[in-house]
Amino acid sequence: MGCAASAPIDQDPAAKQRNDEIDKSISQEKKKRANENRTKLLVLGAGESGKSTILKQMTLIYGTGFTPNQLETFRQAIQINILVSIVSLIKAMDKLRIPFGFKKPVDADEATRRLAAFSTNLLLEITVVDSNEHSMDDVQDESQLKSTCEEGRSGSTTDPIADLSKQEFAVAGGTDTHESRVAALAREFRKLDHPSFGFNLKMAMQPETIAAIKEIWNDPGIQYCYTRANEFQLMDSCAYVMQHIDRISSADFVPTNEDVLNARIMTVGVHESNFKVGGMMLTIYDVGGQRSERKKWAQYFDDTQAILFLVAVSAYDQSCMEDDQTNRVVESMNLFSSICNHPLFKKTDMVLFLNKIDLFQTKIETRPISLYFQDYTGAPNSVQESAKYFIKRFQAINKYPNDKQIYPHLTHATDTNMTKKVLESVFESILKGNMEAYGMV
């Protein structure tokens, strides 16, 4: 009773034999895995964090490249990416109230002077009427710009250039009413439905379609809209596909490796890949990062030796596709917490990729992260200090610092050379950890 030691209970010989057989089987399985050096790696992260791009890089670096059928899929995908991008920009013009042909001022002072030019009674009356007509849209848009204590939301409310575009939009009208050739072309594209837009994807895109897309893309209003891409949903590869539109749309187009890495296909379901890295066999699971896909993750948690978690750190100023309110990096932090602190992963080290560091570097030159994360006190334009801030934020999420480590890396997933160096370091650490776990070192 109580704390007194209990006498050993005689075990049935048959039961003992079964237990011994189970122990032997487990021991043999461990030895088999050690000999095979097979590792199960989960690639996790929120939507559009770059998970599939990392898998493409692994295929290029450790696999046999892409098959003709896969290249055909990517050819169609990247052409659809062109259409999705231009339609997204056209719709954003009305959401942000930017007129076609809008000439962006060189600075805030010029914007203020041009705003003053609208101060006649007639134009003020037009502006008031337009504001009333768009009142519901304004409530939604401006609510995202008001100062707030909610983390990941901008505290900035003053933008004379945006105010000027709204004034000119009130006079010129939006996509439906603007009297210009570009607006007329935009109206035709806005009628198209996703995802194939009615085009025969087995054929080259028609020259008149490409010419229209290029004309819309080169419109100064569209270009200004693109600079505000953090305020709406636009794929990161937009500028890339527009830059290469002539080549991508040609009849004999075959995607290059760079094209494949920039092609955007939303991951749905779970994709398994197998690679041999040095003496280690890797089984990698890439799962969709959208909220609706995450319920599928749990069934792959068992027997995981390593987790690679990706964060699109460049999205510090963007909202999630699912609700258009939650900051994407905040969403990643919440998701990381649920994985990092899951009981199954209490002793599972995690590799953290702060991805899209190239876009991050460009953004912070004009949009400091302190606008969205008010506790950041480092240099506003320093990539090193800004990245270090996010690394510390993610590492602080770990509730089991004595049992597991978080290994951070800054990555640019479309850069093959950089990605190869990072992956080599990651896989070397995983291999070493496996050998230690099986008592081989």
Known binding-site positions for Mg(2+): 52, 267
Based on the residue annotation, tell me whether 168 is a catalytic residue of this protein. no
Based on the residue annotation, tell me whether 223 is a catalytic residue of this protein. no
**Active-site residue among 33, 48, 317, 318?**
48
The span from the CA of 412 to the CA of 422, in Å, is: 10
Is residue 388 exposed (0-12), middle (13-18) or buried (19+ Cβ within 10 Å)?
middle
Residue 413 zone, left/alpha/beta (φ > 0; ψ -120 to 50; rest): alpha
Three-class SS string for 182-246? HHHHHHHHHCCCCCCCCCCCCCCCCHHHHHHHHHHHCCHHHHHHHHCHHHCCCCCCHHHHHHCHH
Based on the residue annotation, tell me whether 286 is a catalytic residue of this protein. yes
**Active-site residue among 259, 286, 317, 331?**
286
State the residue for tokens 């081989």. 440
Based on the residue annotation, tell me whether 377 is a catalytic residue of this protein. no
Q: Residue 274: which of 262, 263, 265, 286 has the closest Cα?
A: 286
CB 284 within 8 A of CB 273: yes
Paired sense of beta strands 406-410 and 350-355, if any: parallel
**Active-site residue among 53, 318, 348, 414?**
53
* Binding site per annotation, positions for GTP: 48-53, 236-237, 261-267, 286-290, 355-358, 413
Based on the residue annotation, tell me whether 317 is a catalytic residue of this protein. no
**Active-site residue among 290, 304, 395, 416?**
290
**Active-site residue among 264, 328, 331, 411?**
264
* Binding site per annotation, positions: 48-53, 236-237, 261-267, 286-290, 355-358, 413
State the residue for tokens 């899929």. 73
Q: Residue 248 carries which DSSP code?
A: H
Cα 79 to chain center, whole Å?
A: 20
Which residue numbers are catalytic?
A: 48, 53, 264, 286, 290
